[in-house]
Structure 1
Amino acid sequence: MLAVEALSRIRWSKGALWSLARFGGAGAVAIGSAVISYGHLRGVLLAWQYGPLTAAVGPLVLDGLMVVCGFALLAMSRTSTDEAGGDRR
């Protein structure tokens, strides 16, 4: 969720290198953390004797919920800022 904050709230300079730093860096962190998170949660579910299908889908559900909640918090903060008359873009 920190990556969502950094990508959406910081005024980044324009240019190809800045875009590479912004999206490439966030993408690398997202892919790495997704792989680690998926493997860990799958292992926990299998250790708790959940079935193979549940162990395969469960981590996607939990990580997806975290992503949706992060964007929901961001949307709420932008709505309250817009209503107060500020512009955070």
Structure 2
Amino acid sequence: MSTTSLVILITPEGTRSYQPRWRKGYYFAALGAHVPIRLGYLDYAKKEAGIGEAVYPTGDYEADEAKIKAFYRTKTGRFPEKGVR
């Protein structure tokens, strides 16, 4: 028996400039669908890409967002000044 999985990639930034807050749609989409949020990344400094841990939304947005931001703080984007703070 084969299984099929659906992956939706949504970047947390909604614009091309720095925003102090992320949009929350990706979080509530995952929460409503009862699926994990997979943390994909491109680290320009290390020239690597990958998929990090899965974050299972608990309904406590602030706590879950803190976990996600902690992960991304270890990655360097192409424009670091526009990234996670």
- Give the TM-score, by structure 2 length: 0.31
Structure number with greater CO (CA < 8 Å, separation at least 6) is: 1
Larger Rg: 1
More strand by share: 2
